[in-house]
Each structure stands twice: as C-alpha cells, then as structure tokens.
Structure 1
Amino acid sequence: MAFASKFNMLKNELKSIQVLRALAVILVVMFHFRFDADAIITNSQVVFANGSIGVDLFFVISGFIIYYVTDNNKHGVHESIVFIIKRISRVAPPYYIISVLFAYFYTGDYSDLFNSFLFLPKTIYEAPFFGYPSLVVGWSLNYEMYFYIATAVGISILSKIRWPIILSLMMAPIICMALYYGNISLSSAFIYTTKYPYLSMISNPIIIDFALGVFCGWMTKKDYCLSDKFVVTMSILIFMIVYIGISRSEHGPIVWGAASLLITFSFVELEKRKLIYLPKTMIYIGNISFSIYLIHIPALKIILYIFNTYTPTFNMTLRPECLFLSALLLTAIMSLGYHYIVEKTLCDTLRKIMLFIIYKTKRESIP
C-alpha cells in the first residue's frame, strides 16, 4: 500500500516534526525576548505575547513521538527499563548541568535543585507551573517526566493494551480529583485544593496535551484516502483557526493544546503527501531545540549582565536592538556547543553505558 511506504518514510525521518519543534522553540524564545525584540520587530510584545503556546506544542509533539517509537515495541519490564533509560539520559543530564550552572553563576540559590533533579513541583499554587525552578523552563520538564513514567509502566504490560493503560494512568488523577471535589474543569489555571504539589501537578488538565499527541499519532497511522486538495485546504483553515485561537492565552487542551494537535496533524499529513516544503534550517533548529530551550534564558541573563555592568551608559536608543540581537547570537552559539558537547557526546555516552549494563545483566540472568 502506498500509505505504508509513506508511513515508513515518516517514521524514519519525521522532518515535519523537527520543523514543528523548531517552531515551538522559536515561539518560546520570542516570548521571553519579546520586550527587547519590540525595537526591531514591530509590536512583538503583542505578536509574541502568546508565544508560550510553544510549550503545548512541545507536549503534543512528545505524545506523538512516544506513540510512534513505542507502539510496536516488545513489552515487559526489561523494555520498560530500556525506554526510561533512553528518555532520562536524553533529558536529565542537559537539564541538571544547566540548572547547576545557572544557580551558581546567577541566582546563588541551590534550594530549588532538589526539586529540579527529581522533577518535582514546588508548590500547590500558580497552576499549571506550580512554582518555577531556578531555570524557569524546568516546570514543563516535570510534566514531561511524568509522561515518560506513565509510558514506562504501560510498556511493562501487554502491548495490545499498552496505550489504554498509559492514557488511563494519565487521566485517572484528573478524573478522580474532579469527582472528589465535584468540580470539573479543563482549564490549566484551575487548582484543586490539595496539600500535595505533585498531586496538583498530575491532576492538571495540561496533561491532556500529551494524550492529544498520542491521538494524533494514532490518527496519522490511519489511511483515510483523503485527497491532496482536501488536505491542503484543511491545513490552510487550520492555520487560520490557530492564528485566531491563540488570541486567548491559556495552556491546556481547550485552546493551545487543541491548536497544537491540529497543526501537528496538518504538518504530518502534508509531509506524507509531499505537499509541504520543509526548510533545512528549520529541521536543524528542531534537532537542537532542546538545547535552545534550556539555554536561551541563561544567554539572555548573561547579555543583560554584560550590558548593565560594562555598558551602563550605552545609547538607550540602540540598546534594545543590540541587547536582543546579542541575546539571539549568544543563544545560537551556546546552544550549538551545548547540543554537541552535552546532548550528543555526554548523553549518548551515558545512554550506551547504562544500556550495556542492562543488556549484560539480562544475559547473565538467563540460565
């Protein structure tokens, strides 16, 4: 079947997903840089005021990818351990290193590192963030790790019921809290009164973003025999709806999660039909998007420190432009280095060592 070959191409390359990752990280970066960017990009404070939609897009993409890479895997405890090692070795070392460096050179406060290292929220307030770690973007990684844990549990069970189990584990806290308090809300800003920050986090509706990504992965495996013309028309309409929809600023499934689902499904369908141009630059940015996500705030702080310390009387008319461009340049340079040194070298090495130990232990345990 033609669809099968298209699917295999997609599974191997996922170029559209890398472009979406690039889009997501650009939106997040511009959200944090928007005030200084206003000097160059007209009305950037307004245009990128809702750039944090990039986080929801990352969550949907994560659900999509994890569905793809695990759907046909073998099940069992060993496979579950292998999965969690692969995910943790990719996320934890880069996050740990930059968190420690940021605390040492900027905040001077190490009290948040315990929560950061265990991917735990700090408080029951400020949903869906539940307290920012020293590296503010780390709040989203708490949700990411919870999704990985739920997936690992599902992988340890029979493959045919894997995803119903995973989605049930993720939805159970949301449903149970809603039934217990008699108040159902899909707003990520809604907070159930509980003493436990982690329970507050895992019962937040933003979790549904991952489920939307899983649903998107399941949908794209189906052959709907849709015409190319219909897909193109649908995509244009989706982009228009997303553009209008982000005028409401809200994390979670109702607004930004739904928009991210639609745009992800659209990109993948267009790639399957070879109806979309995917720039190599965007694909490359997507490849290093995690480093950019972690680095851009420290890079901005470094530039602010340099400007405030060494050029306090710098021409205030030119200052915002120079600050914005300098922060972008430093983000790019640091992210490239961080990606190759930490993500590609350190993380790959750690993953290989841990997997070698796991496989060796498994072989030795076989009589």
Structure 2
Amino acid sequence: MTNKLDSLQVLRALAAFAVVFSHIPMINRGEFGVDIFFIVSGFIICFITERDSDNFILKRVFRVLPLYYVGTIGVFVIGNYIPTLVSSEPGSLIELLKSLLFIPYQNASGEIAPVLKLGWTLNYEMFFYVVFAISLRISKVHASAICACLLVFCICIGQLTKSSSLFYQFYTDTILLEFVYGMAIYTLWKNTHHWQVSKAASYLSLALALVIVTSMFFIDRNGIRFLSFGLPAIAVVCLMLWGTTNIRFPLWLILLGDASYSLYLFHPYLVHGVDRIVFSMDTFSWQSIFVAALVVTACGLCSIVSYYLLEKRSNEWLRNRFLPKRLRRPKRPVKTADAIGNPAAAIKPLIPSKSVPTPYNPSLRK
C-alpha cells in the first residue's frame, strides 16, 4: 500500500500548476491552488510539530526565506532594468524592505501585493507560523486547537470592528480560516488514517477529486473565498487523504510535489518572459496552446532544477549551520513533510541496530 501522504504531494503539484495556469493570459484561471495550499499547510504543520516542534519558527524561516528572497530581489532588479518584463512597477527600496519583512502594503497599481506578487500568500503563511509558534509556547499538546482559536479570534475581530490600517485588515481576513480547515482535517485524520478502502474506491476518489479540481476553474472568483474555493478544496484534500490509499502515484508526480514551492514562486519569470518577448498567449489558437504547453512543461522542469540546486541545498545548509546538532536528527525517525516542503514519503518507524547508530540524513527533513 502506498503511503497516504504521497497523495498530498500530488495534490500540491496540481495546486501549483493551477496557479501557473492562472498566469497564462488566455486561461487566467486557477488561483484556487492557493486555497488548496493553505489547507494542506494547516494539515502538515500539525503533522510535523506533533513529531518534533523544536525550533519551529527557525525551521520555517530556513524553509521559506531563501527562495522567496531570491525571487523577490530578482523581480526588483528586473523591474528596474527591464521593466517591460514585469506586470507592475518594481517599487521603491522601502517597498522592497516591506516585502522582505512580510509587511503588506498597497503598490502603485493599487494592489495589496509585495514586489513578488505571489508573496502575498507567504505573508499569510508566515503569520500562521507565528501564531502557531505562540500556540506551541502555550501548550505543545493543544497547539493546533489554540492556534485555531487565535485565528478565529483574529477573523472575528476583523469582522466586528473596522480599521483603516491595511496591516489590520490584511491579517484579519477570512482567508485565514483555510488554515483552520487544514488543522481540523489533521485532527480527524490522525484518528482515522488506518482506514482502508478498496482499489476501485481509491480510483473513484481520485477521479472525483480531479472532477472537483476541474470544476474549480469555473467558480466565480468574486465569491466569498473561504467558501467558494475553500469548501471544494476541503473536499479535494479529504478525498486525496482518505480515498486514494491504494494508489501508487508515479515518482515524477511526487517529485513535482517536492518542487512545488519552486514552481509556485519562479514560474512567473518564465511565463511572463515568453508571453512578452517570444510569443503572446493572449488569445486561444493552436499556436498559443502549443506554446503554453511548452511553457508549462518548462516550468515543471525548471522547478525541479531549482528544488535540487537552490531550495534543498539552502535549507540543508542553514539547518546544518544554525541548528544545534541534537536537533538535526529527527526525534522520531520518520520521513515527514513541510507545509511548503515535502509531504511524507513514509510513516513507517525505522528500527536502527543497537550497535550501529543511525547516521543523520538531511533528506529526512522535519
């Protein structure tokens, strides 16, 4: 039986490609991939911290910042020297600093978005990590419940009281509920993950999940996001977690799940570069479809290269350099997952020989 969390890897790959589609002009749909990411993030953060919560924030910073900083500074430089390649003005140094510090602001185009526009989602991710870290300090056992209550409290305050502060409005948005969805799903899953379904039911669940994902391309984007995108995303995550336990997913799909953070952050470079310099993908035509297919394929391949050469190496180097040695080896020898990293390849305990200590393997990231 394949590991249940391989399905989340595949789902993360699908979510990342949905966001890629949202930036191809003739499609311009697929932003719901973000909602799937947020729900998976809530699930995975509970999963990894239940096994090892030491230096939680530091590990999240090592995981998120290197790639985001490279992408943000890259857009800032390109915007200043080749402005035709970016969709908005690169902003000032102050705005660059706010982007790097996850401080929301309104740019020259009137959007609440950092220099690297996709970074608005990371503003929410980092906020979620901070709230979860506070919850861990209060109680490691009940961290997810405390975190959920704090997030709901922020949302309620934002709905009941009004403020002109952009920072206040941003971090009390109802989209935060999607992290709560993920934590609630984990609470249910950890008590029921031993459930088994037949192979036929697994493929039926996968087919239903794909149908829901496809239908999400046609959902009104002006609806209440945590409902219009959030509820279908819950259904998809649940179908993949409980319904596909008898499916062995192809390794290349799982690898794309590994590289989904790189794919998410860096695909605009390739998509916008091709669209504005090589071939416009504004209208449907056989040529546009062919070019778009090549661009999407190239995005996937480049993300894998980025994952191995930049994302994985930077995370391992920072952990080896700054984490205490006693924290580098997992407390429980299991392959685990990152919210923006890699869902578990296995949850089977490894039993090392008493005479031969288990060597540290950086690939077994906590």
User: What's the TM-score bracket when you normalise by the shorter of the two chains?
Assistant: 0.7 to 0.9
- The equivalent residue for 2:360 is none
CA 71–33 in structure 1, closer or farther in 2 if over 3 Å, else same: same
- The equivalent residue for 1:165 is 146
Gaps of 5+ in 2: 82-89, 329-366
Q: Give the structure-2-normalised TM-score.
A: 0.74
Quote how far apart the aligned CAs of 1:347 are.
Answer: 2.3
CA 327–124 in structure 1, closer or farther in 2 if over 3 Å, else same: closer
Distance in 2 between the 1:93 and 1:118 partners? 13
Q: Give the structure-1-normalised TM-score.
A: 0.74
Distance in 1 between the 2:61 and 2:45 partners? 13
Quote how far apart the aligned CAs of 1:163 are.
Answer: 1.8
Quote how far apart the aligned CAs of 1:357 are.
Answer: 8.2
SS of equivalent to 1:135: coil
Whether the 8 Å CA contact 1:28–1:54 is kept in 2: the answer is yes
- The equivalent residue for 1:253 is 226
Gaps of 5+ in 1: 1-5, 36-44, 181-192, 361-367
CA 162–248 in structure 1, closer or farther in 2 if over 3 Å, else same: same
- The equivalent residue for 1:31 is 22
What's the CA shift string for 1:254-284, capped at 9, x where partnerless? 1211111111111111244x1x342222111
Quote how far apart the aligned CAs of 1:238 are.
Answer: 6.0
- The equivalent residue for 1:68 is 47
Quote how far apart the aligned CAs of 1:319 are.
Answer: 5.7
Name whichever of 241-250 and 225-234 sits farther off.
Answer: 225-234
Quote how far apart the aligned CAs of 1:356 are.
Answer: 2.8
Distance in 2 between the 1:319 and 1:228 partners? 44
1:209 has 2:173 as partner = no
Distance in 2 between the 1:337 and 1:224 partners? 33
Distance in 2 between the 1:146 and 1:240 partners? 32
CA 161–303 in structure 1, closer or farther in 2 if over 3 Å, else same: same
Whether the 8 Å CA contact 1:124–1:197 is kept in 2: the answer is no
State the AA in 1 paired with 2:101: L
Distance in 1 between the 2:213 and 2:265 partners? 26
Q: 1:87 aligns with which of 37, 47, 60?
A: 60
- The equivalent residue for 1:307 is 278
What's the CA shift string for 1:43-80, capped at 9, x where partnerless? xx3xxx54111000000110110111112446xxxx3x
Quote how far apart the aligned CAs of 1:164 are.
Answer: 2.1
Quote how far apart the aligned CAs of 1:333 are.
Answer: 4.3
Instruction: Say which one has the larger Rg.
Output: 1
Distance in 1 between the 2:243 and 2:121 partners? 29
Report 1:184-203 matches (<5 A). 193-203=162-172
- The equivalent residue for 1:355 is 323
State the AA in 2 paired with 1:207: L
- The equivalent residue for 2:103 is 120
1:51 has 2:30 as partner = yes
Report 1:262-281 matches (<5 A). 262-272=235-245, 274=246, 276-281=247-252
What's the CA shift string for 1:198-239, capped at 9, x where partnerless? 211111000001110111111112239877369656776666
- The equivalent residue for 1:39 is none
Whether the 8 Å CA contact 1:56–1:251 is kept in 2: the answer is no
Whether the 8 Å CA contact 1:20–1:286 is kept in 2: the answer is yes
Distance in 1 between the 2:65 and 2:224 partners? 24
- The equivalent residue for 1:177 is 158
Distance in 1 between the 2:201 and 2:301 partners? 38
Quote how far apart the aligned CAs of 1:170 are.
Answer: 1.2
1:22 has 2:1 as partner = no
CA 259–345 in structure 1, closer or farther in 2 if over 3 Å, else same: same
Q: CA RMSD in A?
A: 3.3
Name whichever of 113-122 and 250-259 sits farther off.
Answer: 250-259
Name whichever of 225-234 and 96-105 sits farther off.
Answer: 225-234
Distance in 2 between the 1:320 and 1:240 partners? 25
Q: 1:98 aligns with which of 48, 71, 83?
A: 71
Distance in 1 between the 2:309 and 2:212 partners? 40
CA 258–31 in structure 1, closer or farther in 2 if over 3 Å, else same: same
Q: Which structure dedicates a bigger proportion of its chain to helix?
A: 1
State the AA in 1 paired with 2:191: K
Quote how far apart the aligned CAs of 1:301 are.
Answer: 2.7
SS of equivalent to 1:178: helix
Whether the 8 Å CA contact 2:205–2:244 is kept in 1: the answer is no
1:219 has 2:192 as partner = no
CA 289–203 in structure 1, closer or farther in 2 if over 3 Å, else same: same
Whether the 8 Å CA contact 2:256–2:300 is kept in 1: the answer is no
Whether the 8 Å CA contact 2:158–2:173 is kept in 1: the answer is no
Whether the 8 Å CA contact 2:209–2:235 is kept in 1: the answer is yes
